[in-house]
Structure 1
Amino acid sequence: MAAVRERSAYANLTLPAELRRAKLDARDAALATELTYGTLRAQGLLDRIITLASSRPVEEIDPPVLDLIRLGAYQLLFTRIGAHAAVDTSVEAARTAGLGRAGAFVNAVLRKISARDAAAWVEALRDGVTDPVARMAIGTAHPEWIARAFADSLGAAAGELPELLAADDARPRVHLAARPGAISAEELALVTGGREGELSPYAVHLDSGDPGTLDAVREGMAAVQDEGSQLVALAAARAPLDGPDGGRWLDLAAGPGGKAVMLGALAEIEGGTLTGVEVSPHRADLVREATRDLPVTVHTADGRDPGLEPGFDRVLLDAPCSGLGALRRRPEARWRKTTADIPELVSLQRELLDSAMRLVRPGGVVLYATCSPHLSETVSVVREAARRDDVETLDVREILADIGGAVGGRPDGLGEGPWVQLWPHRHGTDAMFMAALRRTR
């Protein structure tokens, strides 16, 4: 909690290492994981409840004390831990942390919170709120602007918003990607005790556990990767070209390297090579390490002007974005993002896509993707690029035809096209967007 608050660390990257360092048994590690992720995911809702219960804004509460109250409130409202135990352990934590007389304040606030259950507190917060989206946002611990962005992207299917918000608020399964050419999904499922995914032919799902301890992951035969991200790499590798595939592929924003591994492995099978570009030196090093035994060359450069010779057959642009599609995997992120983040990102996405279209050869394909369903970052960017007279929009549903149809039992499958927007509640993946653009001349 302190690392997330003080250093803007990502819990999903920091917590597993901390748990291994603490050498907790499986039961205690599972509880610590649930309390940490759950508290961070519900932080905005908890803060509003704490404000009501303490009669003071959370900004006026000392941050270490606020961390303890949030953890205690989450236990009271969202777990089966008894009220007495939740309050007492929080007060004791304040004492052992040397927070002075803060224990009395922690005790008073948590006892007031314990007087109502979660549903009652949500209804208290909804009092006077009539807008249905705002009411849903409160009940599912989402900032209102994000709930509205989801509703806008759902469009005619906006009636699914409650289902989407609920899925986005649930703890996701661990998704593994079997490395093409190294191990099959069937084999990976057998050695990990997981089960094969429904969409990607390389996906395996685990209900829980630390994937970093798995032999297949440690040996590089598999990696942690959402099934939706796997589909992005597959679409980039499968998109139909005009003319032969010369095997010269490009990942224009490659860090931290998950899709580069998948693309590099697929390129190796096809006898091709992959060039990776990453502007951050640290992330570029991560890509080099992840792809060290694959036909991948990584350049530390700005994708808007990477200094590469044009003529690539395939270009993947997994553009830097708001990350709204992966909030369930980064529980703290929903409270860090603001609407003010979007315009600068959209400008960068457009510039990167212009660069990708310059680097791809005539007849080659650019696969544009974001881990965000926000229309400004997805459809808006693609439609602007498609206005060029040398660009043809391909139907991603046809590229992924073998996973199309009634995905997840739904007749809408992968949507109306020509692009694809994946959803946690429909597909069990992060909310990945992908569009395919072929340069005609």
Structure 2
Amino acid sequence: MSGARDSRRVAYETLRAVHESDAYANLLLPRSIERAGLDTADAGLATELTYGTLRRQGTYDAIIAIAAERPAAEIDPAVLDALRLGVHQLLSTRVASHAAVNESVELARAAVGRGPAGFVNAVLRRVSRDNPGEWMTRVAEGARSGDERLGLVFSHPVWVVRAFRRALAAEGRADELEALLMADNAAPRVTMAALPGLAEIPEDARRTPFSPLGFRVGGGDPDATIRASGGRLRVQDEGSQLAALALSRATPIRDGERWLDLCAGPGGKTAVLAAEALAHGARLEANEISPARAGLVRQALEAVPLEVPVSEQDGRMRADEAPGTYDRILVDAPCTGLGALRRRPEARWRKSPADLPELTQLQGELLTAAIGALRPGGIVAYITCSPHLGETAGVVAEVRREWGEAVEAIDARAVIAAVADAELDLPAQTDGSDRAQLWPHRHNTDAMSISLLRRV
């Protein structure tokens, strides 16, 4: 298979799997592209169509509702995905209008038959008569509040818009909200890491501005670079690199230290810690409750010549079994993932405020258990790929209240700045905490929250 038509079909089938089966586009799409035999250009088109449609889904649904004169939720899901794909091509790409309409109609016809295909044709032709600016004006005018307007225009659920505003306001930067929402809808550049002590950044690469491990290469598939290095060069967001290094470089490493990565899957940060442990004579252990993700951790560690045992337990139990044992523990806690919406756009439509109570309870219990597993003077890094204050500042504040004077904060912003050896725009938190918050619009990273605590 090859060609733009096959790219559209791969994108459509991925959208259907995301919405029907809760599939993850970042896992499914590469396999679908490979099975379809798409060349580089067609693979790029399939990727843009899939991710672009998912990122802008909220806006497109509002446009479809206007053009179809019925709520998007009342449209057959298979038809709706064909419409979303068509609207994305019409309003956000250079695809010719007739191709966007005709190919979307064919996708709908193949999926659900001739009758619904006629409906798709009518709606997309209605959309094609006006330009993107006119449609955005109509969408904004239909909003019932300022937050709903932002949500519709920038394709984010209203509760996420409000959570982002509160997180930015905690730094005195609420005026950056629109820039953040825009950044979430932009395709992230591929960032790579050279495992410390095991690989050098290629001479023809461009170093990233903050992580000493990070670099970017020209266009093309990074897989060849990864394979040639034996996995010692790998794709990894710069924020994830900094999060792992914040733990390993917060204080000088003593020979023989014991480290634990408590929630290690899928293993990117584990590999960085393993390389750091190898270079400084430390021992690392990893834990991941999910067997499948534990398998990914073991794969991630194959490039590091260090024996790292990987257990498969509930992190709370794993830490409780080893009180006062470790010098450094990474708690990369399960979270809403709101900080990675550029790379996992479907997460914005899957999560809801109802998910937070269970998540924050788990996060607090994991952090509490990790502190209990530290020896006196040991450090825990509490990481979330989410800027939501409930998952970040709220969890840390509650755990610190429980531990009282037995725990003290380390200035994560100062540690990150020292690791980066560069000026980062990391404003102080208005609650007085020493948490570091990275942002897509400000640092071109995932919105990673990093807190460092020392057991006294």
Q: TM-score range by the shorter chain?
A: over 0.9
Q: Structure 1's 173 and 217: CA in aligned 2 closer, same or farther, altered over 3 A? A: farther
Alignment of 1:172-183 (within 5 A): 172-183=188-199
SS at match of 2:405: coil
Q: Which of the numbers 71, 84, 89 marks the counterpart of 1:57?
A: 71
- Corresponding residue for 1:259? 269
The answer as to whether partners of 1:246 and 1:313 remain within 8 angstroms in 2 is: no
Alignment of 1:313-392 (within 5 A): 313-387=327-401, 388-392=404-408
The answer as to whether partners of 2:409 and 2:454 remain within 8 angstroms in 1 is: yes
1:152 maps onto 2:169 in alignment: no
> Which has the larger displacement, 370-379 or 243-252?
243-252
Post-superposition CA distance 1:27-51 (Å, at most 9, x none): 2111111111101111121112111
> Which has the larger displacement, 6-15 or 167-176?
6-15
1:290 maps onto 2:300 in alignment: yes
Which letter maps to 1:197? T
1:429 maps onto 2:421 in alignment: no
Which letter maps to 1:223? R
- Corresponding residue for 1:75? 89
Q: How many Å separate the matches in 1 of 2:223 and 2:427?
A: 32
Q: Which portions of structure 1, spanning 4 or more consecutive aligned residues, are displaced by more than 6 angstroms?
A: none
Q: How many Å separate the matches in 2 of 1:76 and 1:436?
A: 47
The answer as to whether partners of 1:397 and 1:404 remain within 8 angstroms in 2 is: no
- Corresponding residue for 1:301? 313
Q: Which residues of structure 1 form unaligned runs of 5+?
A: none
Q: How many Å separate the matches in 1 of 2:376 and 2:101?
A: 65
Q: Structure 1's 38 and 208: CA in aligned 2 closer, same or farther, altered over 3 A? A: farther
SS at match of 2:52: helix
> Which has the larger displacement, 121-130 or 337-346?
121-130
The answer as to whether partners of 1:415 and 1:421 remain within 8 angstroms in 2 is: no
Q: Structure 1's 414 and 175: CA in aligned 2 closer, same or farther, altered over 3 A? A: farther
Post-superposition CA distance 1:11-40 (Å, at most 9, x none): 112112211222222221111111111011
* TM-align CA RMSD: 2.0
Percent identity (aligned): 51
SS at match of 1:223: strand
Q: Which residues of structure 2 form unaligned runs of 5+?
A: 1-14
The answer as to whether partners of 1:321 and 1:372 remain within 8 angstroms in 2 is: yes
The answer as to whether partners of 1:177 and 1:230 remain within 8 angstroms in 2 is: yes
Q: How many Å separate the matches in 1 of 2:453 and 2:174?
A: 27
Q: TM-score, normalised by structure 1?
A: 0.92
- Corresponding residue for 1:101? 115
The answer as to whether partners of 1:173 and 1:207 remain within 8 angstroms in 2 is: no
Post-superposition CA distance 1:373-394 (Å, at most 9, x none): 0000001111122222200101
Post-superposition CA distance 1:252-309 (Å, at most 9, x none): 1011111111101110111111111111111112112221443311110001111642
> Which has the larger displacement, 17-26 or 75-84?
17-26
1:329 Cα offset (Å): 0.4
Q: Which of the numbers 31, 34, 39 marks the counterpart of 2:45?
A: 31
- Corresponding residue for 1:200? 211
SS at match of 1:9: coil
The answer as to whether partners of 2:105 and 2:117 remain within 8 angstroms in 1 is: yes
1:397 maps onto 2:397 in alignment: no
The answer as to whether partners of 1:245 and 1:313 remain within 8 angstroms in 2 is: no
Q: Structure 1's 128 and 104: CA in aligned 2 closer, same or farther, altered over 3 A? A: closer
Aligned length: 430
Which letter maps to 2:208? G
Q: TM-score, normalised by structure 2?
A: 0.90
Q: How many Å separate the matches in 1 of 2:158 and 2:270?
A: 34
1:15 maps onto 2:36 in alignment: no
SS at match of 2:196: coil
Which letter maps to 1:273? R
- Corresponding residue for 1:281? 291
Q: Which of the numbers 170, 186, 202 marks the counterpart of 1:170?
A: 186
> Which has the larger displacement, 11-20 or 93-102?
93-102
